[in-house]
A and B are shown apart, each in its own frame.
Chain A
């Protein structure tokens, strides 16, 4: 290195952006996980000391570097949560697909959500439900509820876009109506997309940096920027429906609670009455319909309480086609033609 003279403000920027993407890309590619990365906006100072003896006199010199300000990484990830294509009937309304949006960046970011019903390669195109296109899980009860005490919130683009802190996730429901004239076995897909609302970020090449004046989460300094991660500031996932000719739905609820003092608290000794309703919808016959319900550890089956379609059944595995054995409540129904409803009830005690 030569002389220390020559202060040149313009030089500071010369080459600073050229090849910059390459640097950030390299960083992105070499870093496996940022899920617990240093938060955006964190200042990293550094102070070196130098000790020496000059003309017999010990001396200390100090040099402080300009602090490194950790930039915000914009990196949403969206995933479809249903384990397989959601079974539906032709003409059915308001069927939900479940997605999870996760902010794997290191700072708070807001995302707009967009659904696309015309995904190439599927057999039919689901229709945006008249009940609502997208719901945000806000009701605190798993699964979509469009009304009631645990109702989830309807998503309105630009009004309640999804703001997520670093590492935070949000469950989203896409609600569709299934066209009437849809054949059995047909698959219909919906693509859901989340796009960073930082202007220009969504779709930008990984490593693209923004001095984000419009972003309140990042202070505006020359070294403070938002950087688009490998997901290009956006994320998409495809979920699907599968049309069945006949469909069985299961609804399990606690029909009654009675605690040892006659109240409805869930305490040791409380008796719970479970009700399971199996509904066979559509056109056709379900073959070999069976039901089984392994009881969790905290519950003990109350002998002699098994009732199927309003008729008491024995606990033994015998001709009445319902039983309790080895911790499992079971019932068999054989072939059931739609439409039909089957109801199973039994009582358990809370341990």
Chain B
């Protein structure tokens, strides 16, 4: 099977549009989607990953959450920070958080404190700290470096596996 790039892009836009609820407050329009990834072997033996609406997601299925944003205003937006909780009944896939030009940090306490993945800690019952496990990550945060110029857009996201 060969991927038609135009059809693929069109499909993705339609999927994105129909699967989400968009909130256009102020200058940045933001959308959030849940999709499945499908791995398809092409004729030349390469594995291609495509996204599709979530359907038949049984435990073990990987779901990709993507937050897409665009500055619809005529001035740049500063201090853009996206936060997205790891949904209940799912576990973050290690090293799956993506987002260009963004510093990614994590929380294991519902978004109260944030740290880089290798510095994230949880408090044990006796008050001591230990490194957080992947299943203990509750939230992911992306802090965009610099401004988001007028008309500019981007996307960030992560993958989870359904418990």
A91 to B22, CA, bound (A): 75
A12 touches B18 (CB 8 A): yes
The dominant DSSP class at the A interface is mixed
B52 touches A16 (CB 8 A): yes
A27 touches B61 (CB 8 A): yes
A46 touches B65 (CB 8 A): yes
Cβ contact of B77, chosen from A17, A49, A54, A207, cutoff 8 A: A54
A20 touches B63 (CB 8 A): no
Q: Find chain B residues with CB under 8 A from A9 CB.
A: 18
A44 touches B89 (CB 8 A): yes
Cβ contact of B55, chosen from A7, A47, A62, A223, cutoff 8 A: A223
Q: Find chain A residues with CB under 8 A from B136 CB.
A: none
Q: Find chain B residues with CB under 8 A from A23 CB.
A: 36-39, 52, 61
Q: Which residue of B lies closest to A38 (CB)?
A: B89
* Segment among A63-71, A173-181, A238-246, A293-301 that sits at the interface with chain B: A63-71
Q: Find chain A residues with CB under 8 A from B24 CB.
A: 61
Q: How far is the CB of A12 from chain B (nearest CB, A)?
A: 5
The number of residues on chain A lying at the interface, defined by a beta carbon within 8 Å of a beta carbon of chain B, is 66
Cβ contact of B32, chosen from A22, A46, A70, A72, cutoff 8 A: A46
Q: Which residue of A lies closest to B14 (CB)?
A: A11
A8 CB-CB contact with B under 8 Å: yes
B59 CB-CB contact with A under 8 Å: yes
Q: Which residue of B lies closest to A10 (CB)?
A: B14
Q: How far is the CB of B86 from chain A (nearest CB, A)?
A: 9
A-B contact pairs, 19 of them (CB 8 A): A4-B31, A6-B10, A9-B18, A15-B11, A15-B50, A23-B39, A24-B56, A27-B57, A31-B161, A37-B163, A38-B163, A46-B32, A52-B148, A54-B28, A61-B30, A68-B54, A106-B59, A223-B55, A226-B56
Using CB atoms and an 8 Å cutoff, list the residues of chain A in contact with chain B.
1-4, 6-9, 11-12, 14-17, 19-20, 22-24, 26-28, 30-31, 34, 37-38, 42, 44-55, 57-73, 106, 207, 209, 222-223, 225-227, 229
Known: A28-B60, A73-B59, A209-B56. 7 other contacts (CB 8 A): A12-B14, A16-B53, A24-B58, A26-B39, A27-B60, A63-B31, A106-B59
